[in-house]
Every structure is written in structure tokens, then in C-alpha cells.
Structure 1
Amino acid sequence: MSGSRLIYAFGLAILLSQISVILSGGSVPVVFIGSENQKLGDHVSALGVLQKEEFDSVVEAKVGVSRKPIVVFSRDNLCVEELRQQKYGKDDFNTIYYFPAVDSPLSTLSNLKSYNVSTDDKPESIDDGQVYIVTVANLSTIPELYKSFKALNSEVHVVVTGESCSYSRSERSKRAVTVRAEPELIVQVDKILLYSSQGIYVKFPESETSYFLGTPKNTSAEGNATHSYRLDMAFTANGTNIDVNLQLQFSVLSAGYWYLESVGFEGNSTTVRLTPAKPIYFPFEFSYHCSLNNIFSSNTTSVNFTDLQVQIFSSTNNDTLKFSDGYDCVGFTTIPIWSGIFVTAIMALIMIWGLLMILDIRTMDRFDDPKGKTITIATSE
């Protein structure tokens, strides 16, 4: 085996050993409660696994020669994730010292020199030289237990730890999934297919609230696939008895392109034609898509399409239409692209200027001879 392979195998063995130590069940978190004015091993790193010898020095620094009583709240299974879920405050404990991973802490606490071990969870008195190991099922009960032991002996040392940590990935807290605010809208009429991920919202005159239109009651389309098309949709606004009719007018204003010119609005005693904030157009045999909000407005009336996609087909061979390639509303040169070009251009100019300065440095081409005549250089040179 070559030397490089030996080095590779040795490094892999070290990596696997470190992973096994970190993931082993013997490493559990340890919390020292109420440890004012005592330094708990400042030389110990809190980011790695605290080995048994290091933890022995930590406990020795805490207890010293005082032989003050120690109460250990222990669980059969205790992991960092469970401690993070506990919302302890200053009313519960004055000070907390925390070590995320300690190798077999109960073994150290159960075999302290000059200490006797007791498993009495409700002692009548707390004596020096005693280690009380109390098994707790619920971490939320620790503040009350802590106060009861403190009432018996105010100088008692309190430790929270466990025997092992077995925490499966499936038990990890899941991030909340964003729930769709409103159902999506899909309209297929004749040769027109329209989609909106969150439906259509409408704002009536003299109203500050936008109403969701939901699923259309009636849909129809008329026109031809070469000049113009109009899509009619009838709704009843959610939470109201107001009927709303929308007419989407598509026209061919230039060769090979459909333009969504305007949206006719009828509802709440208002009839108005709404225009988009910027032109909406797409080539034949392509679908128009825009992940931004497409707002059609006129004075105080507006209609908002969220994540709009629409296409007009020249022919239909089956009952189910499918969108073709999307013609997106976002152009190629977006703001991030222009920002990158601008910053790169500035850096290139600085680099070119620096290179020109370096190339303009003039070195000496004549040198003084100590045995000859002194060189005289004119000011112009």
C-alpha cells in the first residue's frame, strides 16, 4: 500500500472515531445549577465531548474540599434537544453552567471520593458528604424539586444529567409548513388555459379590503386564435353577496405575440376597464408566466392575480390542455445581475489601474562605480 493510501486510511479512521464518539449514547448533557462564584473548568472547551478525566477536574473545581451535598437529577434518556425545549427563567435558577456533551457523567458523580451515594428522592435532611441521585421523569418538575432541596440546605450543589442519549432524527422538531392561504385557480375554456396559485383578489371602490373571488361560477370564451380572444369569468366575492364579472381581453398587436391588454370589471355597481401596470405579452405557442403579482387597476378598483400563468392554444387535440414553455415576466438582466456586473467592473478597473502603476515603475539602469567617477544624474532623468 502506498504512503498516500496509508495517510488516507489513517485520516478516515480518525474521522470515523470522532463521529462515533459524538454520536455515542454515553455522551449526555450536564447542567450545573446555582453555581455562583465558582469557576467550572474554564480551560475546558464546551464545543466538543468532555471526556471523563476532564469532567473529573470540573467536578473537583466545583466541590473542592468542602464536601457540600450534591443532588443529581437524572433521567434514563436525556439529550440536548430536550433541554432546549425547557423555558427556564431567572425565577427558577440564579445561574446555570451547561456542557452539551459529557462522557459518562453519572459514573463520575457516583464515585466521588469521601462521598456516600443515596437514592432517596425525598430525604428529611441534606447532609454534607452525600450524593443524592433523584430520578425525574419530567424536566419541568426540576425547578420545584430544586427549591425543595435548597430549602433543606442552601449550600447544596445541583446537577442535571442523564444516563444516555438516544434521539432519533424522526423525533426532531419539524419546521412549520406554510399553509396555502387560498386554493389555486385553474380555468380551462375552449383554447384558453389560465392558472393562479392563490386565486384572484379584487378591491372594490371605497373599500380597504381585498376580497377573494374563489372558483368562478361560469366561464366562457369567444374569438379566434389569430386576432383576439376574450375570457369571461363570473364570481361571487367571498364573504359578500356581490357578483363580479371579469373579461380578460387578449389581442394580437404585433406579429406572433399575444397581448393581455385589459381586464373588464363589472361588480358592486361599477363597470370599468382595468389596465396592467406594465405590458403583458407572450409569443404564440408559449405560455405567459409571472411569479410576481399581476395587478390590473383603475382609480380605486383593482384585480390581483398571484403567480399568473396563461396560454392561448392554436388548436386542441384533447380535452386536457397543458402549458408549453413559459415566457417569464422577469427579464434576463435582473437587479442582482446588474449589481454583479457593476461590482466586477469596479474591481476590474482597480486591477487595471494597479497593473499600470506597477508597469510604470522605473528601475535604475546605471550604477555608481566606487573606483571611477561619480555618476551625475540630471533632474530631468
Structure 2
Amino acid sequence: MARPTCSNKVKLTAFLITIFGLFATGNSTAQVPLLLWSNGSLPPLASLAAGHITSHDQFDAYLTEAFGSAPQTVVLFLQDKLSLDDFTVFGGAFGNKQDNAFKNIETALRSSASSVTIPALEWSGSTATLALLQDKLGVSPLLVDADSLSHLTIDTSVNQLLLISLPYCSGLYKSCKEDLLNNDEVVGKVLAVMMAKNCQYTAIYTGLQPSRVISEPSVSEESVGRSLLQAVVTDVSPPIIFGPPGSPCIMLWAQNLSVSLSSSMQWIDLGSQTPTLTGSMCNNTNSLLVLTYQSGIVLSFAMSQRFYPVSARNWFTLDSVQLQSNGQTASFIGRRGIYAPAEYSFHCQSVTTFQDALLIPDESSMMQNTSQWRLNFVDFQIQGFNLLNGTNFAYASDCAGFFTAGIWMGLLTSLLMLLIFVYGLHMIMQLNTMDRFDDPKGPSISVPQTE
């Protein structure tokens, strides 16, 4: 592919949006865009008809031609979610540079020796593209960031797959545009490091899953007649279950499992990834749930149950949560409230390590580089013992106490008003009418009698 020149008056962002718009015709197949560029040479991509969705077999064949037999260094920017609409909404179309959230990516495509744009790549799973690259290169991905990459020695004589994980619309502290702007800055820093190392590489920018999936129901599925209300079916992920078939012993579910491995608060959403449970175990007194993700992150939940004579019953506690990445481990212990009767499960709307933290860092086991690691679990529920019927959570013991701050404020305010009312009533009841109308300090009134 010919290298674009800087004299081209058509902005690359507007060009991408125009091309994406041609391919984004109403199709119900889930798809993600993919951008690929290199400081070497890439074979041109065969022209595609408008509306065509590139299958994984076609992408596999293209990678075979692009990589060949020579060692490859591939930098994969894998965003949690990405769709064509993101370029339309946040891409700064028609030269609006102030609103462009893809400036560094645009510059990389424009200045690279060769680049390829795949507007619609068939999406069949959150790890499909990563697994395809692993199979092509024959190596496992190495999770890095701009800081760690600058200290990494890249051996160009062997295949290497460098993975940079990017968040999308975490909803914790930043909007979608802020996340994309931060991601674009990360891309710029990583590319600057690769340029400084002066090595040949191929970069890929895509998403784990679509951020917007628009499907068109078939004619047979459309309801006949007029309907006032329409049921909306939400996609709820199943819980994570560990144990022998038919009698599992550990169950975990969360609406969102997010971790941050840097002080810049770049969150990695683990809920979109399917973990393996290798290393998990359970018995009558201890349970360990180990979640190993494709990105190289490992989460471990250690639980135990004991008999407490005061309450005359068994209780289970979440003793610690360990986070491992790149050979480093950070441990967090339960400060308060992470316990429940052994027959119950534990539920909490928010389990974090920073605001109203239920988990606090274990300083004795924290390495220097992991002091900024953070956890955030939303709508979190876990049970390590006595699963109900072996497949369902038992009754949940919630972390929110009955007497919340609002209830205490209402009770104290009502008590204060009651005390004021009682004091006023008491004062009124102590009032006495005067039985004489003269001055009690002066001489008594003398009324002479006349005959």
C-alpha cells in the first residue's frame, strides 16, 4: 500500500468514517473494526464490496501472507470495546481536531510505511483475535504498558506478541471520550518507545467486543399488531462455578470486575473475559478460587469457615484477594464486613480498595511496583461453602447494615424534636395563675370597714 503524503487535504479521520459508513450498512452480525499498520511492508488487502464483513478465515489468510516466515514483533492494542460508531462520535470528523479522540492513531496510520483498514471484522468471541495471533506467532502474549515497555529488551530474532490493554467507558470516574483520549495517549507513548528502540514492528488496534451491537430481527420474529410495551432482554453473564460436576463448592458473580495496574487509573474490565479455574480448591474448612485470564492477570479469592462459640454457628470469611500480573503479586485483606454465616452467601454492591474500602492492601506482601494496584467489584456476590442445591446462591448476607447513615440521621433528628416538644410541654404544665393582684413585696392592702 502506498504511503500517504502529508499534502493530502482529506483528513484521515473523515476518510475512515466515510469508509466505515459504507461498510456499516444494517447487518445483524456482531463486528469490530481493526486497524493495522507497520513500519515495514504489508501486503495490500483485496478490495471488498460495501457491507462485506471480513471473516476470521479471511483474516487468518491475510495474516499468513503478512507475517510470512520471518520473526515478527506485534504490538496489539486491545480495547475492551470498540465499534464503528466510536469513530463517528469521537473521531473528530471533517477536521474538527479538538474533538478527535484518535489523533495519535490517525498520525500512526498516516506516517506508517504501510497500513490496512478492516472496517468490519467478524466478532465470534472476546478472545478470538488474541487467540488467532497467538496461534500465528506461536507465543503467549506479554502484558505491558508504556513504562514497562521502555525497560524491555525486544529480541527481533524471535516472534513476540506485546499486549496493551485499554479500557472503554468504565463509568467509574471518566466518560467514554475521556477514556478514548487517554487510550490514544497510551498508543502515542507506546509507539514513541517502539520508534526509540528502532525495531521493525506491526501494530494492531481493535476491540475485545463491539461497544454497540445493532441487530435487525427477522420477519418471523417480528410481532404482528400494535404493542404498547416491549420487553427488553438484558444479557446477564452466568456466575463462575467451581467444583466437581453436580456438586460445585464455590460460586462467584459480579456485574463488573475491574482492576487497575497503574497510578493513572486505567481500568481493565475482566468481566468480558472468560477465565480458567486452574489452581482452585475447596474442602470443609478452606476454599480458594483462582481466576486466570487471557491477558495474564490472575485473581485469587481465599475463604475459610470456622465455628464461633459466641454465636454457636459456623461463619465463613473472605480472608484475602490476590492480584497477580507480570510476575508481581499484590495481596488485599478484608478490613471489615466480608463475612457471612456458613450457610449464606456474601453480597455487596461495591467492594473496592480505595473508597469506603472493604479490602485494604497487605503492606507486608506488597511490592514497590504494586502499591498503586486497585480493585473494584460492582454488585459482588460470593459463596465458598454449602451451595444451595449445588447450583444456586444461598440467602445473601448483605454488607449494608440495617441502620444506615440516613436512618441514623432521621432517628436522631426525630429524637431531638421529641425532646424539644417534651420540654415545652413540661414548661407549660408548670405555669400557675396568680391568687392575688397586689405587690407581694409591699404592705398588704388594707380596706377599712365602715359602719
Q: Bigger radius of gyration, 1 or 2?
A: 1
Same fold by TM (over 0.5)? no
TM-score by length of 2: 0.38
Q: Relative contact order (alpha carbons < 8 A, sep ≥ 6): 1 or 2 greater?
A: 2
